[in-house]
Chain A
């Protein structure tokens, strides 16, 4: 089993990990993977996977207009707002 690539998966997970944390995490994640690797010993040919333990059914209703949460109440939950909109750092740079 190869070492868990802490740096790579931290990046994919959008997490910053410092060097000290990296050492601890390396050991912890390797321990956890050791446990998870027990799944490798089973012969699973022909076994169907389970997504949900119950049968899923679509829930259908008439397309009727109902009450909605007022927009201003929702906007108030955003971390930062401007003119009733969600304000974030720049996502697309203007290159003109």
Chain B
């Protein structure tokens, strides 16, 4: 939390990026500039190399199959699927990074509202709580101890008394 007198703008830790800096219009090339960093270029190149290589291997297996190697038909089917999987992983990675960037660009209104148990690694989530999975928490009830219920009822009475008397101190409780 930034203190009121803090001069520096607050920023999610470790997520300083150019995406939130540039006020680029979404959907323009300017908004896509973050895909052109060296790390991302390496990923694009790796994706293209793998896809071309896998398709080439598939073509090679097709030619072998056509030459009479019946075993190659199976591999001829598999290599293009692997190529498609590479594209899929690349696309998911782009989408994930874009989502994280959007979350960092517009910080969540209240961190307590973030519906996750584990803190996100790099960037904040926020902005899109709808896409997160619902969190299921395993609740283990305490074994029923006799006497618990009366204690609980007394405590609840005490709490409601505190609530009804906002200015009262705990020592004033008559009960």
Q: Do A and B come from one complex?
A: no
Residue numbers of B with Cβ under 8 A of A are: none
- Interface on A for B, CB 8 Å cutoff? none
